């Protein structure tokens, strides 16, 4: 009985010690940022070292990240960039995939490497040129206010949503790498394939052609194929009026815009601003 009693106490102490573990923050916290550029998902997963009063980028051994030496670009196992589709990085082709982001900092130029072998983690001695998928160079920028914790952003996505930047900021340094994700060819393939399957996609195709200033004659054919059976959609009647206006068919455009106004006024749910849009179009054509 005494043995069983001691065994029970021992197990209870062991179980209690497991339950009583204390969780504290990691010295370099984890971070993640993601965004779409065009139709491509870009995700960055990384560990975030802190300055802690140290000198970060510079020439010589006094700096945490010396110029001219390859760096895992973060803490712990390094930084992983995942790209869901083919893109161009600083004008060079990068296939879809998952890469370690390695860098070689410099005073006037940074080398940025998309590296295929993620298993090397933080061991830069294991780096092999053959495992580099892409290497580009960019100029660093200077920040007037120090960033204490290393930070990645996906920034400056343009109006057309086909270009953005992977941005690294730490200490007083900003490094931006341009990403181009041209979706036009993909959208054109979708238009060709899906209009054959689903006639409702004609309006999407017409809208895309109109917004990108393509063949307005083709856009008009598509919207005309769509509108029968959708006579209450005053917003798409307005689209037809705009296409006609771009074709220089002023009288037809005005008549179509007036039709859109008529249908919009009869809509119990409101006109969503299309009455004014049609009136503005009519006035611009007079």
**Residues 148 and 197 placed together within one structural domain of the fold:** no
Chain-centroid distance of CA 202 in Å reads 27
> Strands 92-94 and 65-66: what pairing?
unpaired
Residue 174 within a domain: yes
Same domain, 154 and 263: no
CB atoms < 10 A from the CB of 98, how many? 14
Q: Does 127 share its domain with 241?
A: no
Neighbour count for residue 37 (Cβ, 10 Å): 25
CATH number, domain at 189? 1.25.40.10
Kindly state whether residues 149 and 207 are assigned to the same domain: no
Which structural domain range is residue 76 located in? 29-180
Residue pair 79/112 in contact (Cβ under 8 Å)? The answer is: no
How many structural domains is the chain composed of? 2
Using the structure block, give the residue that is written with the tokens 């086909």: 162
Name the residue with higher pLDDT: 226 or 186.
226
Name which residue leads in pLDDT, 183 or 11. 183
CB 72 within 8 A of CB 164: no
Q: Cα torsion at 205, 191, 43, 141 (round to 10°)?
A: -60
Sequence-distant (6+) residues with CB within 8 A of 225 are 199, 202
CA 101 to chain centre: 17
User: 145 and 218 in one domain?
Assistant: no
Condensed to tens digits (0 to 9), the pLDDT of residues 240-284 reads: 999 999 999 999 999 999 999 999 999 999 999 999 999 999 999
Give the per-residue pLDDT at 24.
59
Strand order in the sheet with 141-155: 92-94, 87-89, 163-180, 141-155
Residue that finishes a domain, picked among 165, 180, 195: 180
């Amino acid at each position: 009985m005494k043995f069983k009693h001691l065994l029970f106490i021992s197990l209870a102490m062991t179980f209690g010690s497991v339950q009583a573990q204390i969780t504290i923050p990691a010295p370099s916290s984890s971070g993640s940022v993601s965004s779409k550029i065009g139709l491509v998902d870009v995700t960055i997963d990384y560990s975030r070292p802190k300055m802690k009063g140290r000198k970060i980028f510079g020439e010589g051994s006094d700096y945490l990240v010396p110029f001219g030496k390859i760096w895992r670009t973060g803490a712990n196992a390094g930084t992983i960039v995942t790209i869901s589709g083919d893109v161009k990085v600083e004008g060079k082709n990068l296939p879809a995939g998952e890469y370690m982001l390695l860098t070689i900092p410099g005073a006037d130029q940074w080398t940025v490497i998309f590296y295929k072998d993620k298993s090397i983690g933080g061991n830069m001695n294991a780096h092999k040129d053959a495992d580099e998928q892409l290497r580009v160079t960019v100029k660093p920028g200077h920040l007037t206010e120090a960033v204490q914790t290393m930070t990645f952003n996906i920034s400056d996505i343009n109006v057309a949503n086909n270009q953005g930047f992977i941005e690294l900021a730490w200490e007083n340094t900003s490094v931006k790498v341009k990403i181009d994700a041209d979706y036009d060819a993909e959208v054109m393939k979708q238009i060709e394939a899906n209009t054959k399957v689903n006639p409702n996609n004609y309006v999407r195709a017409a809208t895309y052609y109109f917004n990108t200033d393509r063949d307005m004659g083709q856009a008009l054919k598509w919207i005309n194929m769509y509108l029968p059976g959708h006579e209450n959609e005053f917003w798409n009647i307005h689209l037809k009026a705009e296409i006609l206006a771009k074709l220089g068919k002023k009288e037809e455009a005005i008549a179509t815009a007036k039709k859109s106004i008529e249908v919009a006024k009869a809509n119990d749910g409101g006109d969503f601003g299309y009455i004014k849009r049609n009136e503005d179009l009519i006035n611009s054509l007079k």
